[in-house]
Structure 1
Amino acid sequence: MIGREFQRALEDFASYLIAEKNVAPRTLIAYLTDLKQFAVYVQSILGPGTRPEEVDRTLIRRFLGWLNVLQEKKSSIARKLVALRVFYRYLLREGRVEINPVELVRSPRQEKRLPKYLPYNEIVKILEAPPPTPLGLRDRALWETLYASGLRVGELVSLNLEDVDLIRGEIRVKGKGQRERLAPLGKIAIAALKDYLARGRPVLAARGNQKEKALFLNHRGRRLTSRGVRERLDYYVKRMAVTADVSPHTLRHCFATHMLERGADLRVVQELLGHARLSSTQVYTHVTPEHLRQIYQKAHPRAREVTRKETGETRLYIEQE
């Protein structure tokens, strides 16, 4: 249980996030979940009824140490620290605390993990797998839209019919922080969406509410959920014997990686992905050894492949004049 003072502060904070910051529902839930965990920890140390203003920097660090003992992921600890920072900045602004105890606490160093992605030939297997049934036409439109525009799965299932302009070849997307952007659609994705809207969606819509505005419908004619998208993708991945551990976010990773491999500007990809910071996009600048080798041979004026006749080996050498 959380003491009355802490509970009241969290309720006021939630109202502030909704009214002034217009945060997404999932962000709000994540903040409040993390802060409630912190409140329970604080009261286990200082006793029931502890108020937010009684927290100091030492207690914040003890909380982070406790999370480490629980073997929480560094990314989870960093997220909880962000929630605490935002919460105490709010309390400082409202005059409920005199100092922000989180201000000088450093976030844990994050492990840099390269996003998983598939080579183009395996992506094609997934894109072309769905059959020409109403659900198959929907699935084909789903995968083509994800790969063509690099959407997050939450953005995909939030699309309404009015958000799609097939004449201009673009869709209006509401991303994180309620930021809107226009995402382009390629010719193949446009064709898949037209086919779905003409022959797939009407059949699905007839099974539910005819007034449903969602672009993508489930088998009952209702808005498709993120979970539903993941389950359908799992089905095709197993069926096509594609590399394991593929999620809808993998298609977003493939979109960014394949764009950059083919020469797209990093800032353009940043805009297309809806990243607020360039650093979020830079994780996609990884290259495979083979791609690195090809770029080197193409770009360096004095590099080429030379085959040693006596050994049959093919290695990279500097061409001598």
Structure 2
Amino acid sequence: MLSAAIDVYVRHAADVRRLSPATVRGYASDLRDLVATVGDRPLTDVDVEHLREWAWAGAQAGLARSTLARRTAAVRGFFRWASEEGLVDADPSLRLVTPKRGRTLPRVASAPALRDVLEGYVARAETGGPDDARDAAVLELLYGAALRVSELCGLDVDDLDRDRRTVRVLGKGAKERVVPYGGAAARALETYLVRARPALASRGDGAGAALFVGARGRRLGARSVYDLVARAVGPAVGSAAVGPHSLRHSAATHLLDGGADLRAVQEMLGHASLGTTQIYTHVSSERMREAYRLAHPRA
């Protein structure tokens, strides 16, 4: 398990590498915080997305740049040792970039702006071609179920329960969860499955059981989803540098704005730690304070 491997590494850092006691204490604290964020899981299950989630949480907590750099050094040293010891096949920390202090959440679209975007794509799907129907369904499900792009692209048709309006998702660490989606997503998916998917799948022979099919008749790739979201949502948030995670963050923020229970949102998002989900409460609180400052006569 991750925590057991960290204990061995901390002793190695002190006894073999002979790092200073202060550095060893700092590394031990950093790596135990990693466990608190991503959960005590098998070491081989930890991937770069877990490390990014942990690094991002540290940046959002306002840690000093020097602390963020030390945390990155700690996790890189740990995984370099684990790789040399044969405990992992690949070192996920090689792709980790030290986050900049003050880094914010990907842009969150307002609920009215996002509604206009989605309704526009749904209207286009009614009269357009198969690609239009697929794009509307992709956007509605990304937002409606707050999915990661990897989760959406990995869905098969059988993962949908169209009667219950739920989707079975395989998240990080191969953890499965069942997520609800709303009426708008259900209607977009029905249009896509009945009218568009068969036409898209007929363009090639690589679709298989994939729920979403690309222009060449194969499983839809993450790059295509990134391009779609940038075109669709970018103007609504005032930035072309916007990706699928913006829809996930928007969904989480809007749920909390509407009074959803924090643990229910955690379960829906598939976060290992409640602390990761709590970041969205800060976003909602900031929005509330800004609205109060602008609108209340005694602000």
1:156 maps to 152
Change (3 A) 1:274 1:83: farther
In the alignment, is residue 243 of structure 1 matched against residue 205 of structure 2? Answer: no
Q: Which has the higher contact order (CA 8 A, sep 6+)?
A: 2
Runs of 4+ that moved beyond 4 A: 72-77, 86-94, 293-296
CA contact (8 A) 1:126 1:143 kept: no
What residue identity is the alignment partner of 1:151?
A: L
Deviation at 1:162, TM superposition (A): 1.3
Superposed CA offset, 1:86-145 (max 9, x none): 564688898xxxxxxxxxxxxx99845442201011112321233222111101111110
Match of 2:115 among 88, 113, 124: 124
Conservation of the 8 A alpha-carbon contact between 1:114 and 1:284? no
- Where does residue 19 of structure 2 map in the other structure? 57
Alpha-carbon contact 2:168-2:176 (below 8 Å) kept: yes
CA–CA distance in structure 2, aligned partners of residues 79 and 169 of structure 1:
41
Query: Within 1, Cα distance between the matches of 2:268 and 2:236?
Result: 30
Taking structure 2 as the reference length, the TM-score comes to 0.65
User: How far is the alpha carbon of 1:73 from its aligned partner?
Assistant: 9.9
1:84 to 73, 77, 94: 77
Corresponding residue for 1:204? 200
> Structure 1's 77 and 204: CA in aligned 2 closer, same or farther, altered over 3 A?
farther
Q: Compared with structure 1, are the counterparts of its residues 87 and 209 closer, same or farther at alpha carbon in structure 2 (3 Å cutoff)? A: same
Count of aligned pairs = 229
User: AA paired with 2:288?
Assistant: H
The Cα shift of 1:247 comes to: 1.4
Q: Tell me the residue number matched to 2:32.
A: none
Of 173, 178, 196, 1:177 maps to: 173
User: For residue 166 of structure 1, what is the amino acid of its counterpart?
Assistant: R
Q: Give the partner amino acid of 1:57.
A: L
Q: Deviations over 1:53-83 (max 9, x none)?
A: 964435x96xx9xxxxxxx997686456335
3-state secondary structure, aligned to 2:242 = coil
Aligned residue in 2 for 1:10: none
Matching residue of 1:316: 298
Unaligned regions of 5+ residues in structure 2, if any?
3-14, 28-64, 88-97
Q: 1:141 aligns with which of 137, 141, 145?
A: 137
Looking at structure 1, the residues matched to 182 and 247 of structure 2 have their Cα atoms a distance apart, in angstroms, of: 15
Q: Partner amino acid for 2:113?
A: E
Contact kept in structure 1, 2:109 and 2:237, CA below 8 Å: no
Residues 74/167 of structure 1: CA separation in 2 closer, same or farther (3 Å cut)? farther
Q: Does the C-alpha gap of structure 1 residues 316 and 174 become closer, same or farther in structure 2, counting only changes over 3 Å? A: same
In structure 2, relative to structure 1, the CA distance for the partners of 1:290 and 1:218 (3 Å cut) is closer
TM-score under structure 1 length normalisation:
0.61
Q: Which amino acid aligns with 2:193?
A: L
Alpha-carbon separation, structure 2, partners of 1:194 and 1:265:
29
> Aligned match of 1:216 in 208, 212, 225?
212
- Displacement of 1:210: 6.7
Would the aligned equivalents of 2:206 and 2:218 in 1 still touch at CA under 8 Å? no
| Local SS of the residue matching 1:215 | coil
CA distance 1:192–1:205, change in 2 (3 Å)? same
Report Cα offsets for 1:190-216 as digits up to 9, x if no partner. Answer: 111111000111110000117611111
Specify the code of the residue in structure 2 equivalent to 1:276.
Answer: A
Alignment of 1:272-291 (within 5 A): 272-285=268-281, 286-287=283-284, 291=288
Counterparts of 1:222 and 1:92, CA distance in 2:
39
| Alignment partners' CA distance in 2, 1:176 and 1:80 | 23
Q: Return the alpha-carbon distance in structure 1 between the equivalents of residues 170 and 68 of structure 2.
A: 25
Contact 1:150 1:251 in 2 (8 A): yes
Question: SS at 1:128's partner residue?
Answer: helix
Look up the equivalent residue of 2:120 and give its one-letter code.
A
Alignment equivalent of 2:226, drawn from 226, 230, 249: 230
Once the two structures are aligned, what percentage of the paired residues are identical?
36
Structure 1, unmatched stretches of 5+, are 1-19, 22-52, 65-71, 95-107, 297-304, 306-313
Report deviation, 1:225.
0.9
State the alpha-carbon separation in 2 of the partners of residues 57 and 109 from structure 1. 25
